[in-house]
Structure 1
Amino acid sequence: MPNVHRLLAAVALAACGGSACSSADARDTRAPQSAPLRAVEVQPVRAVDETSAIPASGILEATRTIDIAFQIPGKVTAVVTDEGAEIREGALVAAVDSTDTKLSLERARISLQRNAEELVRLRALHASGSLAPNDLEKATAAEQTAVVNVAQAQKQLRDARLYSPISGVVARRAIDPGETAAPGVPVFTIAQLDPMELRVGIPEADVGSVRVGQRATVTVPALGGRELTGRVTLVGVTADPTTRTYTTKITLPNADRALRVGMVAEARIAGSTRVRALTIPGGAIVRDAEGATLAFVLDGASATVHARRVEIGAPRGLSVEILSGLREGDLVVVGGQHDIRDGMKVRATRQEGS
């Protein structure tokens, strides 16, 4: 019986040298699978033919800003508009108590009537030779003074009501009902916001190429890169002593009131020559630890991305001009660029529509 057990053990040991043990060894020595490649989207650098342009940046301003004030003192009885409200030229904005002014006007009218009647009577006497010329002159002067007093009282009554001199938006309100208005102290600021103006500074090297009436393309970052077309309406004739630039104004339509005072905007004032510009989507630009602007470029042969330092120019809507660092046709990473590094192998697909 012991011989039988030893025989079975030998058979089992022999079996272990066969296929079962070989499979186990294969599992133990097989190399681990590599991590999946990072997926990115790419788009070629595009070249566009366009007219040359002078870049500039600045701040949006109201075309006109007017402070308005009462011309007479009085207690404010009505305020009919508020900050941010649209207002039309000639619309009432506030009023002060006009009770005393109305009484003054009534007294002036009564005095005028009396002086006019007296002048008629004295003229008749003068015609009959019963009145000295000096007395007639005094009566005439009194009647004329009464006319002036009526006109002044009428003006004071009109001045008790404050009207907007322009169409625009109420930018500031500094008075409430019940308060006392002082003559000449501004209580409202009215801003004309359509059109708007972009004030930029043009370097002396470029100002000679800028003319009133030139077209300008303006991009507003705060509005998602929205582009508008405007016209140059003013070119300064003296340079700012600090920046050595010439103030230039570009007028822009603003019917929907999307543009607001104080927004930053980028302008490109159209020139007269044709140039070829390279553009890529603005989102493709990334920055390294030092703040330098980079773009990842795909090497199609090796499926590897390389970081390229680029110099960017003016924005073009959602795209940006590339001044150096890329060539037309280079495949730049426009999706997944924040999850890759220089020299990484990737799985790239063309962005739809590129």
Structure 2
Amino acid sequence: MIMDKTKTAPRDSRFYGIANHTGWWPGGLMGIALVAGLLFSGCGAKEAPEEAPTVTVQVGAAENEAIQLKISADATLYPRDQAAIVPKVSAPVKKFYVNRGSRVKAGQLLAELENRDLTGAQQKSQGGYQQAQATYDMQVQKVAQDLKLAKQTMDAQQRIYDSRQALYKEGAVSAKDVEDAGIALTQARNAYDLAQKQSDLKVAEAQLLAAKGDTASAEAQLSYSRIVSPINGVVTDRPFYAGETAPSGSPIITVMDLSQVIARAHISQEDASHLKAGDEATISVPGQGAAVKAKVTLVSPALDPNSTTVEVWVQAANSGGRLKPGVSARVTMIGETVPHAIVAPVAALLTSTDGVTSMIVLDTDNKPHKKKVKVGIRDAGDVQITDGLQGGERVVTVGAFELDKLDDMSKVVIQVQAPKMPEEEEEDQ
């Protein structure tokens, strides 16, 4: 007997198929398993974990060492001392005794001007002085004699008067004789007082002083025709020739003391506040080799009204004269030294918009950590850390800005790259 599979199904057919409106599907159990597997895989599947970002950095060390505050500025070189000698009298040059480049000493004769008229005036005044001196000496002797004679006359009249007084009391002379003796005594006293005033001597003394002054003036005028150096140094300029007359106010010879040079620079008020006379410094001139040791000799107490800067002088020995006045130079002054400081590369310093400073520090596992720091003085590529680091840390110098932009640095993979050598940087360029 054949059964109608479209109407009746065996009791165990649930194990072999699935019923639908047309009948039963064979292999139903496998289908259920397949559907269940698909549903399970769709509901239970998880997304793949995101890959941690990699940041390539370069690092530097925070070390315990000394640091100096160095202040650099452009400067112009000047001689230690300079004398542009302008003649005090106008006359043609009679003779030069030096040329450009001649080394001279203070007081050395450099040139002589025509001075025959000045010599004549000096001789004339000298003669007047000698005459006044002779007159004065004669007047001294005359005054001494007049004073002695006046004293003797007064003493004699005093004795006569005393004698007349005694005789008058005895009745031997009249009252008129006593009166006449008194008058003579008074006249003698007046003559003595006048002799003591030495009026004639004072006149002679005044004449002598006047003659002496005339002589000194003439000698000074004559000395002005002799051009001497006021300083030790080198003749740097001699613009005229013998026979020429220098215009009024024009230097006839210029002497410079080049044993020392002074570099004059202008710096900001803030930088100037760190400097004082005696601070160590260096002077360097492009193309002239190593820098020369120097010292700060002047920090101007006033501001330049035009630039509101402070003028600073730096002085250095100029052995060999290789530093030339008028040349542009570079001065570096040490304003402060901290012998024991925590020093880190300034390239590692991050500054926020509100002025907070920080650095990215790598731990032993190369995990980055941001630390707030306080800074002190700076020296070129280094900065003093006064708070926030202890020394020995590795700080990120390249890549710190990229790390600082991340919300969570803990998930970053750090790849430390060795810094490029200068040769490699040139090849990249």
Q: Aligning the two structures, in what range does the TM-score lie when normalised by the shorter sequence?
A: 0.5 to 0.7
Distance 1:51 1:241 in 2: 30
Post-superposition offset of 1:321: 6.5
Matched, 1:231 2:231: no
SS in 2 for 1:223: coil
**Equivalent residue number for residue 268 of structure 1:** 332
Answer yes or no: is the 8 Å Cα contact 2:66–2:337 preserved in 1. no
1:256 aligned to which of 312, 320, 323: 320
Structure 2: which amino acid aligns with 1:203?
S
1:57 aligned to which of 69, 74, 88: 74
Post-superposition offset of 1:232: 0.7
Post-superposition offset of 1:161: 0.5
Q: Relative to 1, partners in 2 of residues 1:272 and 1:147: Cα closer, same or farther, differing over 3 Å?
A: same
1:146 aligned to which of 177, 195, 211: 211
Q: Relative to 1, partners in 2 of residues 1:72 and 1:51: Cα closer, same or farther, differing over 3 Å?
A: same
SS in 1 for 2:320: coil
Answer yes or no: is the 8 Å Cα contact 1:63–1:192 preserved in 2. yes
**Equivalent residue number for residue 162 of structure 1:** 227
Distance 1:124 1:170 in 2: 55
Q: Relative to 1, partners in 2 of residues 1:257 and 1:110: Cα closer, same or farther, differing over 3 Å?
A: same
SS in 1 for 2:219: helix
Aligned residue-pair number: 256
Answer yes or no: is the 8 Å Cα contact 1:220–1:227 preserved in 2. yes
Q: Deviations over 1:258-300 (max 9, x none)?
A: 001122222221222358598xxxxxxxxxxxxxxxxxxxxxx
Post-superposition offset of 1:182: 5.8
Post-superposition offset of 1:50: 4.7
Post-superposition offset of 1:183: 6.2
Matched, 1:70 2:87: yes
Post-superposition offset of 1:246: 1.3
Distance 1:182 1:127 in 2: 55
**Equivalent residue number for residue 125 of structure 2:** 108
Q: Relative to 1, partners in 2 of residues 1:245 and 1:325: Cα closer, same or farther, differing over 3 Å?
A: farther
Q: TM-score, length-normalised on structure 2? A: 0.51
Q: Relative to 1, partners in 2 of residues 1:100 and 1:328: Cα closer, same or farther, differing over 3 Å?
A: farther
Distance 1:96 1:80 in 2: 11
Report the structure, 1 or 2, having the larger strand content: 1
Matched, 1:94 2:158: no
Larger radius of gyration: 2
Distance 1:204 1:140 in 2: 62
Distance 1:134 1:335 in 2: 101
Distance 1:321 1:222 in 2: 24
Matched, 1:245 2:309: yes
Structure 1: which amino acid aligns with 2:102?
A
Answer yes or no: is the 8 Å Cα contact 1:79–1:177 preserved in 2. yes
Q: Which runs of 5+ in 1 are unaligned?
A: 1-44, 279-315, 343-354
* Higher mean C-alpha deviation, range 236-245 or range 57-66: 236-245
**Equivalent residue number for residue 197 of structure 1:** 262
Answer yes or no: is the 8 Å Cα contact 1:222–1:264 preserved in 2. no
Q: Relative to 1, partners in 2 of residues 1:170 and 1:143: Cα closer, same or farther, differing over 3 Å?
A: same
Q: Relative to 1, partners in 2 of residues 1:104 and 1:163: Cα closer, same or farther, differing over 3 Å?
A: same
Aligned residues: CA RMSD: 3.7
Distance 2:424 2:285 in 1: 24
**Equivalent residue number for residue 284 of structure 1:** none
Report the structure, 1 or 2, having the larger helix content: 2
Q: TM-score, length-normalised on structure 1? A: 0.61
Q: Relative to 1, partners in 2 of residues 1:264 and 1:277: Cα closer, same or farther, differing over 3 Å?
A: farther
Q: Which runs of 5+ in 2 are unaligned?
A: 1-59, 150-193, 346-378, 384-396, 400-415
Distance 1:97 1:155 in 2: 15
**Equivalent residue number for residue 332 of structure 1:** 421
Distance 1:219 1:328 in 2: 36
Q: Relative to 1, partners in 2 of residues 1:124 and 1:168: Cα closer, same or farther, differing over 3 Å?
A: closer
